[in-house]
Amino acid sequence: MKRFVLRFLRSPEGVAGLILLSCLVAMALLAPVLFPRDPLAIVGRPLTAPFTDASLPLGTDRLGRDVLAGLMHGARASLLVGIFAALVAILVGAVVGTVAGFAGGLIDEALMRVVDAFQIVPGFLLALAFVSVTGPSLPVIVFAIALGAWTGPARLARAEVLSIRERDYVAAARVIGMHPAEIAFKEVLPNALPPVLALVSVIVASAVLIEAALSFLNLGDPNIVTWGSMIAEGRNVLRTAPYLSIVPGFGLVLTVLGVYLFGEGLVEGMAHRRRRQ
């Protein structure tokens, strides 16, 4: 573990990602401390230019809402959605993949056809349909995004389980009379998980982008500020105040970049460990 951390810190990508993500997490955590007021509240004259008012450093949007407060609170929404969508997707994918791979036969066949079906429907369309049916709120959006993201982990977990279930310790568990479900979830699943976890960074990054696109299309949670909704709001005054759309976009780019870089550092750390074995 210590070696892994050292390797991670030695890869320039990992360090850059770590720095970016730490800044974002700090932003998300400090948002309610520095800006305890609702970021959707009107606090000044509409379209105050940035750097003109000391109390509103980045100015206000078309409705007179504080842009800096929106940016800080927006980091919260992006990170929350990204992390929880990835968690749900990995969890569902790992369970489905383990059941399919461990049970085999007809159950495997049926589950994999369901995976196929989810894979041929564009994930964004699925999220769009799900949110429009159930109504936009943060948990619904998390679930809607996970709905299109669990197939990758499921396939990977299944492939991993297929090789693990032939190992000796699984046979040993069978011999001592463990229940198949117990073997699948206590012995096989934990060992199948590491390669699946390598997908986390990709899923978090795409979840952040999908959430942004949904709220850009006005399908985000209307009660919280997100960078996507800020971009959409700024679009109305794109010609006169383009920074209102451009600045939150940079937030998204840096978040996604940070997640990718961090993920690459993790893979690097793990690859070295595997080579050593």
The one-letter amino acid at 122: P
The one-letter amino acid at 266: L
Neighbours of 12 (CB within 10 A): 12
Residue with smaller CB distance to another protein, 37 or 113: 113
Q: How far is CA 265 from CA 170, 205, 236, 239, in A?
A: 32, 15, 39, 40
Is residue 4 within the footprint of another protein (CB under 8 A)?
no
User: Segment contacting another protein (CB under 8 A): 61-69, 95-103, 185-193, 244-252?
Assistant: 244-252
Residue with smaller CB distance to another protein, 135 or 177: 135
Is residue 129 within the footprint of another protein (CB under 8 A)?
yes
Is residue 156 within the footprint of another protein (CB under 8 A)?
no
Who's near 258: CB < 8 A, 6+ residues apart? 16, 17, 19, 20, 21, 23, 24
d(CA 228, CA 230): 5
Residue with smaller CB distance to another protein, 29 or 257: 257
The interface with another protein within residues 177-206 (CB under 8 A) comprises 205
User: Segment contacting another protein (CB under 8 A): 32-40, 44-52, 115-123, 153-161?
Assistant: 115-123
Is residue 132 within the footprint of another protein (CB under 8 A)?
yes
User: Segment contacting another protein (CB under 8 A): 22-30, 174-182, 186-194, 254-262?
Assistant: 254-262
Is residue 33 within the footprint of another protein (CB under 8 A)?
no
- Candidates 121, 171, 181, 271; binder of another protein (CB under 8 A) is 121
CB 116, min distance to another protein, A? 5
Are 61 and 46 spatial neighbours (Cβ–Cβ below 8 Å)?
yes
Is residue 125 within the footprint of another protein (CB under 8 A)?
yes
d(CA 72, CA 6): 31
The residues facing 66 across adjacent strands are 60
CB 114, min distance to another protein, A? 6
User: Segment contacting another protein (CB under 8 A): 3-11, 21-29, 57-65, 252-260?
Assistant: 252-260
Q: What is the dihedral of CA 228, 233, 237, 238, to 10 degrees?
A: 10
Are 254 and 25 spatial neighbours (Cβ–Cβ below 8 Å)?
no
User: Segment contacting another protein (CB under 8 A): 43-51, 82-90, 111-119, 174-182?
Assistant: 111-119
The token duo for 168 is 């000796």
Is residue 75 within the footprint of another protein (CB under 8 A)?
no
Residue ranges in the chain assigned as alpha helix (H): 2-10, 12-34, 67-103, 105-120, 123-134, 138-147, 151-164, 168-175, 180-182, 189-197, 200-216, 227-235, 243-276
Are 138 and 144 spatial neighbours (Cβ–Cβ below 8 Å)?
no
The length of the chain, given as a count of residues: 277
CB 14, min distance to another protein, A? 13
CB 161, min distance to another protein, A? 22
Q: Which residues form the interface with another protein (CB under 8 A)?
A: 113-114, 116-117, 119-126, 128-130, 132-134, 205, 209, 212-213, 216-217, 219, 231, 235, 238-239, 242, 245-246, 249, 252-254, 256-257, 260-261
